[in-house]
A and B are shown apart, each in its own frame.
Chain A
Amino acid sequence: DVKVTQSSRYLVKRTGEKVFLECVQDMDHENMFWYRQDPGLGLRLIYFSYDVKMKEKGDIPEGYSVSREKKERFSLILESASTNQTSMYLCASSLPRGNRNEQFFGPGTRLTVL
Chain B
Amino acid sequence: KQEVTQIPAALSVPEGENLVLNCSFTDSAIYNLQWFRQDPGKGLTSLLLIQSSQREQTSGRLNASLDKSSGRSTLYIAASQPGDSATYLCAPSGGSGNTPLVFGKGTRLSVIA
A residues lining the B interface (CB < 8 Å): 4, 31, 33, 40-43, 45, 48, 50, 58, 88, 90, 92, 96-97, 100-108, 110
25 pairs of residues in contact across A and B, judged by CB atoms under 8 Å: A41-B105, A42-B89, A42-B103, A42-B104, A42-B105, A43-B89, A43-B103, A45-B100, A90-B43, A90-B44, A97-B31, A97-B97, A97-B98, A100-B49, A101-B32, A101-B93, A102-B34, A102-B46, A102-B49, A103-B46, A105-B36, A105-B45, A105-B46, A106-B43, A108-B42
Task: Please tell me if the beta carbons of A50 and B98 are within 8 angstroms of each other in the complex.
Answer: yes
Task: Please tell me if the beta carbons of B101 and A103 are within 8 angstroms of each other in the complex.
Answer: yes
- Asked if B60 CB lies within 8 Å of chain A CBs, one says no
How far is B93's CA from A97's CA once the two chains are assembled, in angstroms?
A: 10
How far is B97's CA from A45's CA once the two chains are assembled, in angstroms?
A: 17
Residue in A closest to B45 when the chains form the complex, CB atoms: A105
